[in-house]
């Protein structure tokens, strides 16, 4: 537990935002969650529970919720962004004038902006005044929100180009059940958490068709090759993808029945349309939009990303899942390296 307690604003009251807010509050910090949903904010304040997501998981007394963005951000030393990627730029624009002069801004969103194809940290760097850019970072790792909310042990990475920023966030979040590592590779840490969502859809398809552990393992290993290929093109360090924010997150998301993107893949394998699946979900599966964006970037950059290409064909080109798997398995034979 951090000895220096702060006020933290958590922007977004979904599963991941709630789990992280609970950790911060358990560490003694005063936490204010911002939600666009007034009924949810009232539920958190009155019952100290987010029953929509974590029924029976009590939230500490020092955690409150509000729909007033200014009240949430006022005097906050930490602002944690946990909104869907499609809302990210708009929310950054709104909170920038509300931030305290020395506030640190950490992103916990895994996705790309649908209009610009930019990462969340790129959006922050573009939109924030120069003095604030050094106080930004990304939190990413093999972190299933429901498990963390239940107090099960997990580890994560906080990456920032500024070591001080990473270490401050590390101290604020760390506790015996949530171990935080630092890293200076912001691009690799963020892309690891973003690209694995595409592969989780493919893993869900494999599990939905009951193709076995061998197939899933082969998928994850070959997918890591294209994740590294993509990340390296944009300045990421390859070794980052072998750590928690890369391989760690990939293994978890491809294996967990609690993964939203895995859920999408499973249901595609069962014959449901993407429109049907998304209409049944209350949470956002970032991997769907990420697939569209990454596929477009890969084509533009001339990057060979066969798994991403086949997931894109299934999601957006009505390609049968079995045909996509056959096409992957019958590609031209080559050396592993």
Which DSSP string do the residues of 244-302 spell out, in sequence order?
IIIIIHHHHHHH-TT-HHHHHHHHHHTT--HHHHHHH-SS--HHHHHHHHHHHHHHHHT
Please report which residue ranges of 82-178 form alpha helices under DSSP H.
85-95, 120-127, 130-133, 145-149, 163-173
Catalytic residue among 110, 117, 196, 275: 196
User: Across-strand partners of 80?
Assistant: 10, 106
Q: Which fold has domain 187-329?
A: 1.10.1040
Which pLDDT tens digit goes with each residue over 173-202? 999 999 999 999 999 999 999 999 999 999
- For range 221-244, the mean pLDDT: 97
pTM of the complete model: 0.94
69 near 90, Cβ under 8 Å?
Answer: no
Predicted pLDDT at 12: 97
Residues 54, 65: Cα–Cα separation, whole Å: 16
| Dist CA 201 CA 216 (whole Å) | 11
Summarize pLDDT for 36-80 with one digit per residue, the tens: 999 999 999 999 999 878 888 999 999 999 999 999 999 999 999
CA atoms within 13 A on the CB side of 40: 17
With beta carbons less than 8 A apart as the criterion, state whether 34 and 40 touch: no
Would the CATH topology of 7-184 be identical to that of 187-329? no
Write the DSSP assignment of 174-227 as a string of letters. -BTTEEEEEES-HHHHHHHHHHHHHHHHHHHHHHHTT--HHHHHHHHHHHHHHH
Number of H helices, E strands in the chain: 17, 8
| pLDDT of 8 above 50 | yes
Is 86 one of the catalytic residues? Answer: no
Query: pLDDT tens-digit profile of 106-136?
Result: 999 999 999 999 999 999 999 999 888 889 9
Assess whether pLDDT exceeds 50 at residue 1.
no
Where do the structural domains in the chain lie, given as residue ranges? 7-184, 187-329
Greatest extent of the chain over all pairs of C-alpha atoms, in Å: 61
The packing angle between helices 321-329 and 306-316, to 10°, is 160
State the chain's mean pLDDT as an integer.
95
7-184 has CATH 3.40.250.10 classification: no
Whether the CB-CB separation of 8 and 77 falls below 8 Å is answered with yes
């Amino acid at each position: 537990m951090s000895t220096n307690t702060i006020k933290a604003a958590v922007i977004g009251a979904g599963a991941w935002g709630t789990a992280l807010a609970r950790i911060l509050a358990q560490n003694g910090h005063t936490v204010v969650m911002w939600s666009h949903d007034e009924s949810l904010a009232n539920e958190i304040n009155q019952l100290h529970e987010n029953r929509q997501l974590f029924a029976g998981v009590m939230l500490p007394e020092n955690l409150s919720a509000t729909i007033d963005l200014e009240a949430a951000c006022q005097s906050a030393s930490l602002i944690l962004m946990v909104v869907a990627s499609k809302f990210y730029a708009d929310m950054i624009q709104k909170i920038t004038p509300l931030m305290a002069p020395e506030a640190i801004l950490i992103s916990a969103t895994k996705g790309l902006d649908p209009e610009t194809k930019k990462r969340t940290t790129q959006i922050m760097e573009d939109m924030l005044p120069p003095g604030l850019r050094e106080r930004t970072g990304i939190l990413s790792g093999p972190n299933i929100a429901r498990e963390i909310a239940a107090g099960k042990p997990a580890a994560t990475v906080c990456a920032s180009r500024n070591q001080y920023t990473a270490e401050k966030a590390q101290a604020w979040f760390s506790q015996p059940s949530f171990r935080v590592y630092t890293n200076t590779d912001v691009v690799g840490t963020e892309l690891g958490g973003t690209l694995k969502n595409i592969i989780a859809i493919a893993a869900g398809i494999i599990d939905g068709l009951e193709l076995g552990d061998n197939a899933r393992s082969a998928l994850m290993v070959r997918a890591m090759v294209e994740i590294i290929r993509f990340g390296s093109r944009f300045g990421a360090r390859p070794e980052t993808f072998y750590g928690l924010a890369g391989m760690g997150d990939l293994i978890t998301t491809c294996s967990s029945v609690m993964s939203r993107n895995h859920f999408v893949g499973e249901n595609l394998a069962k014959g449901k349309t993407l429109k049907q699946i998304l209409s049944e979900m209350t949470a956002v599966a970032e991997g769907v939009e990420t697939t569209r964006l990454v596929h477009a970037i890969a084509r533009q950059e001339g990057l060979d990303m066969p798994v991403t290409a086949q997931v894109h064909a299934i999601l957006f080109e009505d390609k049968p899942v079995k045909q996509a798997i056959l096409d992957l398995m019958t590609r031209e034979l080559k050396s592993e390296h």
